[in-house]
Amino acid sequence: MTQWLPAIQTIQIILCVAVIIFILLQVRGAGLGSAFGGSSAGSVFKTRRGVERLIFNLTIVFVVLFAIVSLLSALIK
Residues 6+ apart with CB under 8 A from 55: 22, 25, 26
Give the start-to-end residue ranges of the domains of the chain: 2-76
List the end-to-end C-alpha distance of the chain, in Å, as a whole number. Answer: 9
Confidence of residue 2 (pLDDT cuts 50, 70, 90): confident
Q: What is the amino acid identity at position 17?
A: V
Place 44 in a pLDDT band, splitting at 50, 70 and 90: low
- The pLDDT assigned to 40 comes to 54
pLDDT, average across residues 57-69 = 96
Question: Is the dihedral angle over the CA atoms 26, 28, 31, 37 positive or is it negative?
Answer: negative
Q: Identify the three-state secondary structure at position 15.
A: helix
Rounded to two decimals, the pTM is 0.73
Statement: residue 11 has pLDDT above 90: yes
- Name 32's Cβ contacts closer than 8 Å, sequence gap at least 6: none
